[in-house]
Amino acid sequence: MDNYRPKWIHKPYPRVSHFRGQFLISLSFGLFIFLFLLFFQPFGLGNMDTNKTVYVVGFGLITTFIMLANYSLSPRIAPGFFDADKWTVGKDILYGLWNIISIALANYVYHVKVGGQSIDPDAILSFIIITASVGAFPLTIMVFINELYLNDRHQKNASKISQQIESGILADQFETKQKNVVIGDSESDSFELNEEDLLFVQASDNYCHIHYLEEDKISTRLIRTTLKNIEVQLSDLPHMKRCHRSFMVNRQKISKITGNARAYTIHFSVSDKKIPVSRGIKKDSFFA
């Protein structure tokens, strides 16, 4: 029993990291809390005769503000936990529960200060329980449905792209005369290779690992440069494409594409290395 782990909880899941998405989600939750309190009137709201709507608006605004604050501060406090490439269904649900608890506490403080109530530990617990009851179930259902939808969509798209790769449709776009390219910022720290042998480039701080074929075997060369510089140096090669903040790949060498709820993954027939594709990369522009 101790070894049992729900596989779904550990599935990859996209973390909302851009402000527009964070703002829309926070605003939606604030609106939901406002409407829920206005219609169901828990916490004695039904006994209020005046300024009820204005009072309830405060709960909605606090919900929105707390969620935006959590989105901004949490990744700075625990950057490792909030690594977008390691984000899972379980982490998203756990983070959602933290939002629920922090919203409940903030709304309780608002309720005490504005409503003229005295602090009551039992009331705090009641706030948390009711808020969690309202938010936990729809939160989990929303994550579950979204994970199924994204996973299915990415898998179908990945399958279509892989079929194009196998049929040679994508390879036909790059039928140009092969040439040698020089990678590096200086003569002492650069090297020349045939572009056909270049597999992918992986960035690591101010260094880049160049992975290439040498006599049908994978070789790696470490040079002091940035991925941005290499991207500029290879800008005239249409098949070289940046797919991630840390990776640039030779699209001619891709054997297949797989997908999950978070994003796509690139595979090579000559290497076991799997390259992630950032969610910010448009599928049509990268694989077309």
Distance CA 277, CA 241 (A): 11
Q: Tell me, what's the pLDDT at 170?
A: 57
The predicted structure's pLDDT at residue 283: 64
Say what the pLDDT of residue 288 is.
Answer: 60
Q: What is the pTM assigned to this prediction? A: 0.69
The per-residue pLDDT for 61 is: 94
Q: Which fold has domain 173-287?
A: OB fold (Dihydrolipoamide Acetyltransferase, E2P) (2.40.50)
pLDDT at 4: 45
Mapped onto helix, strand or coil, the DSSP state of residue 181 is strand
Ranges of the chain whose pLDDT falls below 70 = 1-6, 43-44, 49, 115, 167-179, 282-288
CATH 2.40.50.1020 domain span(s) along the chain: 173-287
The tokens for 183 are 């990678």
* Distance (Å, whole) CA 276 – CA 259: 10
CB atoms within 10 A of CB 29: 21
Per-residue pLDDT at 81: 92
